[in-house]
Structure 1
Amino acid sequence: MGKDAEKQAGDFDFPNLSSGYEVHYSFSPRGPSGVVKDTTLAELLQRYADILWEEGNHKYNVKAFIGELDEILLAARFSTFSQDMLDNLIGALRKRRNSNATINRKMAALSKLLRKAYKMGDIYSLPEFKRQKERAGRLRFLEPDEEEALFREIGNRSDLYLKLSIFLVDTGARLGETIALKWNDVHQGRVTFWVTKSGRSRTVPLTARAKQALNALVDRSPGPFASIDQQKYRAVWNDAKTAAGLGDEADIVPHVLRHTCASRLVRGGIDLRRVQMWLGHQTLEMTMRYAHLASHDLDMCVPVLERHIT
């Protein structure tokens, strides 16, 4: 799986499973004698994917995750997903040089699928999922000169994609949220995102250039960006990125515009709670990734230290 796919699976709230599960036994009516039949991860995914995940890039990534895990298990059939099976999966992913962040995303998808299967009586019990410790890592965002160069190249290729990029960086919205917008979601200089990863709507005010981008697209229906194909946009993005001299940076994918919006808010002195609301993060912990950018809060420390310099 490429970097773009992993980025799109980014901003993911891992379920709070640290307390584990008690092992409960339940019997399903699926078998003629009331005994649970053996199944595979692929079969469970086929049965519940449309129920658990909406169509879109995230669902595509989930299918890839579960498909990989099923392949590691050699399509093994089971009625109990044991702790040993889970531990072996994590070990195999580590051997494949998966980072802890990537393992967490794959385990989150597996956990959601297994919890549904357990609830529906397809398996007897659940293992205990524990979140892997993730390294902070470098958070990439665009500086103004990088944005100018990149957007210039995007505009040379597509005026519609330029307006989309402007809207993304000034709202901090995810690509899927933006494409799902309808015109009645835009009202009195504000936009409401209803189709969100968390399932919770949010409303943010629009900048002047975001308003201009929307005003230029009023003849498009049912929404300003509804006709955009994500893969075509990414192809143009990658071509423009190379032309702008940023081709060697794997982290510069469309999702970097969301990081750029957040970084500008924090560096501009906006408190993290408001940034959390703006981005639609479910927890403040997710927003804390940007806390190190609030260096202006430490400026008052310099005079105190300088007084002690002889």
Structure 2
Amino acid sequence: MMTIDAIQEGDPSEHFSMFSSQNAKIKYSYNKIREVKSHRVGELFSAYRDILWDDGRHKYNVSSFIGEIDEILLGERFSAFDQSTLDNLIGTLRQRGNSNATINRKMAALSKLLRKAYKMGDIHSLPEFRRQKERAGRIRFLERDEEARLFAAIKSRSEDAYRLSVFLVDTGCRLGEALGLIWNDIQEHRVSFWITKSGRSRTIPMTERVKEVIRLPPTEGRRPKGPFTKLSQAQFRAIWNDAKAEVGLGADDQVVPHILRHTCASRLVQGGIDIRRVQMWLGHQTLSMTMRYAHLATNDLDGCVVVLETPRGEGLSSESSAFASPLTTVSAAAPTQKSEAAATKTAKAPRKSSKAK
């Protein structure tokens, strides 16, 4: 047994090794203690933005979100991001008029950044991010006559922008997905999208209109890398805004290029395509995103009108009811079968003789 005096003498590491050998269940290890420094949100974003986000419009939006958050926090430095700081941040955003949907997007960017910083040891605690409840907003889509007028105005300004507009409304793809296409992504009657928001590739068939607009007119010089690579997002949006103002849609802030994706989804659902296939066509990561369009499938409810308009007392036969249940059909038929059996039994029963008394 080691005494206190024995431990005080000599190299401490030798005593710990002796103690560890006598008590096998106890182990000691010497790990370096890392100092956690304080950081600003903006500094963390500068360190990890290129790792966490690809170049593009989304990264530009995230940069704006983080800049606003850093400004609200007054450039405060921290080594732990506590819950009260997060709650105060959300409260300030709401006071500034941010909707719950906008707050969710900004908090998603902040959460992604802080989780990376926590994993790398830059901060030592994280708050709980709770998703704010979002309202199901009205989905705006183009009617056929609106599409015709808008596309005609676009075509008068740019043939390439017109071809892109037709492609977007018939494929339902995102603007960035279309602009990133190369010729190898187009095979026979199908087009594949590899660079997507969800990170999942998808392949869909092309309509006849799409097959026509992806054919470039013969031009001199080198062929571009893809059917729409001559255009940038900024150029297309500028042409779009000028055209929509010309046709009287300038005051409608929902008439943006993304409306073509909504229009494609709405037409698929209204045409009777089931929600699961619409999800696959659009490349939605979850079915809940596609369910925003489910209310447009009104044909499935037409049979309800027949039931409601039928006067009471008349009822509906099981054969004519649009929603006839097998159970209803069987239960309705059962009394008839019983009556027939009773009638047969009565017919076969022998008559009593009139002489028998």
TM-score by length of 2: 0.76
Whole-Å Cα distance in 2 between the matches of residues 227 and 56 of structure 1? 17
- Cα separation, partners in 2 of 1:218 and 1:42, compared to 1, 3 Å: farther
- Is the CA contact 1:218–1:224 (under 8 Å) kept in the aligned structure 2? no
Whole-Å Cα distance in 1 between the matches of residues 275 and 229 of structure 2? 31
Other-structure match for 2:274:
271
- Is the CA contact 2:141–2:259 (under 8 Å) kept in the aligned structure 1? yes
Give per-residue Cα distances to partners, 1:107-160, cap 9 Å, x unaligned.
111111111111111111111111111111111110101100100100010000
Other-structure match for 2:345:
none
Confirm or deny that 1:213 pairs with 2:213: yes
Deviation, structure 1 residue 192: 0.4
Amino acid across the alignment from 1:293: L
Residues 135-146 of structure 1 aligned to structure 2 (within 5 Å): 135-146=135-146
Post-superposition, which runs of at least 4 consecutive aligned residues in structure 1 deviate over 3 A? 217-220
Residues 142-221 of structure 1 aligned to structure 2 (within 5 Å): 142-216=142-216, 220-221=223-224
Whole-Å Cα distance in 2 between the matches of residues 122 and 116 of structure 1? 9
Other-structure match for 1:84:
84
Give the gaps of 5 or more residues in structure 2.
Answer: 1-31, 314-357
Confirm or deny that 1:284 pairs with 2:287: yes
Whole-Å Cα distance in 2 between the matches of residues 308 and 89 of structure 1? 59
Aligned-residue sequence identity (percent) comes to 65
The alignment's C-alpha RMSD in Å is 1.3
Other-structure match for 2:239:
236
Whole-Å Cα distance in 2 between the matches of residues 138 and 285 of structure 1? 15
Choose from 226, 229, 238 the match for 2:229. Answer: 226
Other-structure match for 1:50:
50
Whole-Å Cα distance in 2 between the matches of residues 38 and 218 of structure 1? 60
Residues 110-125 of structure 1 aligned to structure 2 (within 5 Å): 110-125=110-125
- Cα separation, partners in 2 of 1:223 and 1:61, compared to 1, 3 Å: same
Confirm or deny that 1:308 pairs with 2:311: yes
Deviation, structure 1 residue 300: 1.1
Give per-residue Cα distances to partners, 1:22-76, cap 9 Å, x unaligned.
xxxxxxx8xxx61111001111111111111111101100000111011000111
- Is the CA contact 1:234–1:254 (under 8 Å) kept in the aligned structure 2? yes
Whole-Å Cα distance in 1 between the matches of residues 43 and 256 of structure 2? 33
Other-structure match for 1:248:
251
Deviation, structure 1 residue 309: 6.6
Give the gaps of 5 or more residues in structure 1.
Answer: 1-28
Other-structure match for 1:9:
none
Other-structure match for 1:105:
105
TM-score by length of 1: 0.88
Whole-Å Cα distance in 2 between the matches of residues 139 and 309 of structure 1? 38
Amino acid across the alignment from 1:272: I
| SS of alignment partner, residue 192 of structure 1 | strand
Deviation, structure 1 residue 194: 0.3
Other-structure match for 2:20:
none
Whole-Å Cα distance in 2 between the matches of residues 168 and 309 of structure 1? 50
